Amino acid sequence: MRAFVATSHDTAPSLSDISVPEPDIGEIRVKVEACGLNFADLLMAAGTYQETPPLPFVLGMEVAGTIDAVGPDVTGFAPGDRVAVFGGKGGLAEYGCFDVSRAVHLPDAMPFTHAAAFQVAYGTSHLALSHRARLLPGETLLVLGAAGGVGLTAVEIGKLMGARVVACARGSDKLDAAKAAGADVLIDAQTDDIRAVMKDLGGADVVYDPVGGDQFTAAFRSCRPEARILTIGFASGEVPQIKANHLLVKNISVLGLYWGGYLHFRPDVLTESLSTLMGWYSQGRIKPHVSHILALEQAADGLELLRSRKSTGKVVITLS
């Protein structure tokens, strides 16, 4: 079968022919129809992600497709079932074997391209805003990187939760996407002063930050007392250094959120969150924004879109 494989952290992943895997105990084999790309795929390929598997490995953290075989001791799932899986790796291939505990059944009306763009982006934002930051109706939410894979879902979910949403992104096209997702106020990161705009708005109660760097610093200085800052990632490449005395003086909380980590210590929280999100999708309250749908042969191009921050919402690779 065809697969997009990382063989070294010093060279780019490439398309290869490898054997079709066989499901082990507790595993399902999925005929992959679509795979959503994530910034973490870039970090994994470089060997800098917190859960980088041993080489060689197939990239692709989240997939959607149809079960075509099950291993021993699998219950609740059968060949023919349509599923989405957060496998952590293995998704950029025609077939993949994944632990059944990481699979969810798909609503009949959800296309595979939406399902492959759903779990990480929506799961991250919902868990961050509802479980970690406890965002309240009427609060002001500042979303950095607001047109990216997770940022756009934070805008959408924040609006659903009743917040006033301020979206910060680079350029008019990305700001248009954030406005369509429900943003009330737009900040162009290329030309506007984040701190000045937020000061005029009375400051931020919650900051959602997948960017880091200078934008984190500006957002930090824009916070109201008792604000909560969510550190989601560092797409800028710069991890901000936080002075504890500034936290003390302003009574600010900085909260980390690694969505995949909940699989290991609180899977119930993650499962409940995904159940809520699937319900919202079925009700038409949320709709994944996919800016690029590419073939497996274009997986490298898809990753470059993420690296150069030229995409809005999600980039999805299809395999059929």
Interval 141-162 mean pLDDT: 95
CATH H superfamily, domain 2-118+288-318: Medium-chain alcohol dehydrogenases, catalytic domain (3.90.180.10)
Q: How far is CA 57 from CA 49, 91, 301, in A?
A: 14, 10, 19
- Provide the pLDDT for residue 4: 97
Q: How far is CA 256 from CA 111, 118, 172, 207, in A?
A: 32, 21, 30, 12
- Token readout for 318 is 């299809």
Residue-wise pLDDT tens digits, 167-212: 999 999 999 999 999 999 999 999 999 999 999 999 999 999 999 9
pTM: 0.88
CA torsion sign for 70, 75, 79, 82 is: negative
Interval 26-52 mean pLDDT: 94
In CATH terms, is domain 121-260 a member of 3.90.180.10? yes
- Provide the pLDDT for residue 236: 87
Residue type, position 66, single letter: T
Q: Where, residue-wise, is CATH 3.90.180.10 in the chain?
A: 2-118+288-318, 121-260
- Higher pLDDT: 260 or 14? It is 14
CA triplet 58, 59, 62: central angle to 5 degrees? 120
Percentage of residues in the chain with pLDDT exceeding 70?
100
Residue type, position 264, single letter: H
Helix pair angle (119-126, 151-160), 10° resolution: 50
Q: Enumerate the β-bridge partners of residue 104.
A: 84
Interval 310-314 mean pLDDT: 88
Query: What is the residue whose two structure tokens read 């909560």?
Result: 228
pLDDT bracket for residue 294 (50, 70, 90)? very high
Instruction: Look at residue 8 and tell me whether its pLDDT is greater than 90.
Output: yes
